[in-house]
């Protein structure tokens, strides 16, 4: 799979838009803004595979430049926005979109502003928005209210909204599905993916469909869309006014892409499921300690969903790990105090539990 402009014939650092340009809606003359997004690892999860009796792969989207999958869509959206003469990029965010928008705005020489729910954005993500020079506005409300304000601002002010209500975002995010198929040689049987605003699951579905229609894949996967129990509008059947979950990235009660996501999951023969916060944190810990992959809580929801709803024996499964664990170090505190001893051979050996001979 390496015809020019489709598949990774281009160098990795040229980014996902250049790699798949001929398959994406972007005019040939538009210069690409890139930080080298895409080309992320697809790792065979040996212990998880053995545990569920399937062939499980991890799509490690935390390896993107700002540490989440948002960079794929941001690269395309910011490229097109700059070409159209945009000045200020604006988004509402639970954290990762704001980090990505701020970084790509900086790379493009544009300004950015982000509206976030006060007190519910993980520390690493907030640091990214600040260091990349975004104007950060916190609102005393949740993400859904922040997005409503941003959409209204998009109508009334000279700003370009780069939330996934901007179709260029989902267009760029299709590249993750392309990569999965290019690497596995076909689409998997099942895709497990966390769902917040429901853009990414929609984008994967479009990508898989496009590849099957182009004859690059023989099937499309069933979609397992995973939400947190306290923020599960697509499982419960309606908006959740006060969503709550430790996975702050997906603390969303009224997903903007609910309609297309429902259509995608239905057409795939899949389903939406909800997992508890404790199952999310347990899955995060298990991935980190048995596979060596540290993802943020929202991302671990995909694996928690897989464990709660095991696939058919022997099926091929991809779990999308949407963001890096370092985004949210506070989510893994709560270990109790770690031992502190004198820098002394005997004391350290004893604290480690090893015998000296």
Q: Which residues bind ligand AN7 (CB under 6 A)?
A: 68, 93-97, 164, 194-200, 249-250, 296, 298-299, 322-323
CB of residue 353 to ligand AN7, shortest distance in Å? 36
197/268 with CB nearer ligand AN7: 197
Q: How many CA atoms lie within 13 A of 53 on its CB side?
A: 5
6/226 with CB nearer ligand AN7: 226
CB of residue 171 to ligand AN7, shortest distance in Å? 13
CA 354 to chain centre: 41
68/210 with CB nearer ligand AN7: 68
C-alpha distance from residue 354 to each of 341, 343, 351 (Å): 15, 15, 8
What letter would DSSP give residue 222? Answer: E
Mapped onto helix, strand or coil, the DSSP state of residue 209 is: helix
CB of residue 323 to ligand AN7, shortest distance in Å? 3
The whole-angstrom separation of Cα 166 and Cα 160 is 9
5/236 with CB nearer ligand AN7: 236
CB of residue 346 to ligand AN7, shortest distance in Å? 44
| CA nearest neighbour of 169 among 256, 229, 85 | 256
6/249 with CB nearer ligand AN7: 249
79/227 with CB nearer ligand AN7: 227
93/142 with CB nearer ligand AN7: 93
Task: Check: CB of residue 298 under 8 Å from CB of residue 249.
Answer: yes
The whole-angstrom separation of Cα 140 and Cα 240 is 17
CB of residue 87 to ligand AN7, shortest distance in Å? 22
CB of residue 13 to ligand AN7, shortest distance in Å? 23
CB of residue 52 to ligand AN7, shortest distance in Å? 21
Length of the chain: 357
C-alpha distance from residue 171 to each of 114, 150, 311 (Å): 21, 21, 29
CB of residue 143 to ligand AN7, shortest distance in Å? 6
DSSP H/E element including 75: helix 70-83
Q: How far separated are the first and last CA of the chain, in Å rounded?
A: 57
DSSP H/E element including 265: helix 258-268
Task: Check: CB of residue 189 under 8 Å from CB of residue 217.
Answer: no
C-alpha distance from residue 130 to each of 33, 61, 67 (Å): 20, 22, 15
110/122 with CB nearer ligand AN7: 122
């Amino acid at each position: 799979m390496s015809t020019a402009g489709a598949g990774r014939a281009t160098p990795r650092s040229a980014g996902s838009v250049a790699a798949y340009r001929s398959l994406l809606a972007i005019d040939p003359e538009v210069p690409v803004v890139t930080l080298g997004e895409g080309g992320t690892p697809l790792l065979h999860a040996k212990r998880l595979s053995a545990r569920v009796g399937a062939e499980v792969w991890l799509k490690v989207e935390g390896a993107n430049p700002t540490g989440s999958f948002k960079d794929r869509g941001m690269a395309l959206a910011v490229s097109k926005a700059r070409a159209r003469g945009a000045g200020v990029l604006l988004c509402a965010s639970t954290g990762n979109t704001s980090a990505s928008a701020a970084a790509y705005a900086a790379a493009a020489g544009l300004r950015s502003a982000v509206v976030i729910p006060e007190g519910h954005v993980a520390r690493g993500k907030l640091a990214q928005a600040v260091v990349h020079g975004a104007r950060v506005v916190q609102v005393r409300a949740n993400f859904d209210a922040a997005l409503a304000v941003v959409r209204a601002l998009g109508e009334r002010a000279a700003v370009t909204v780069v939330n996934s209500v901007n179709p260029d975002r989902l267009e760029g995010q299709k590249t993750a599905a392309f990569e999965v198929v290019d690497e596995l040689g076909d689409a998997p049987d099942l895709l497990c993916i966390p769902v917040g605003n429901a853009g990414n699951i929609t984008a994967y579905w479009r990508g898989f469909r496009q590849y099957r229609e182009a004859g690059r894949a023989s099937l499309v996967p069933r979609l397992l869309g995973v939400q947190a129990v306290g923020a599960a509008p697509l499982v419960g059947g309606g908006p959740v006014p006060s969503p709550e979950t430790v996975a702050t990235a997906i603390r969303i009660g009224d997903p903007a892409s609910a309609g297309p996501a429902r259509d995608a999951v239905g057409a795939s023969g899949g389903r939406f499921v909800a997992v508890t916060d404790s199952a999310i944190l347990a899955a995060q810990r298990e991935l980190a300690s048995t596979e060596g992959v540290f993802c943020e809580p929202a991302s671990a929801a995909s694996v928690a969903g897989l464990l709660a709803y095991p696939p058919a024996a022997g099926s091929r499964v991809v779990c999308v790990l949407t963001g890096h664990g370092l985004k949210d170090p506070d989510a893994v505190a709560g270990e109790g105090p770690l031992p502190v001893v004198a820098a002394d051979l005997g004391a350290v050996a004893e604290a480690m539990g090893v015998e000296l001979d």
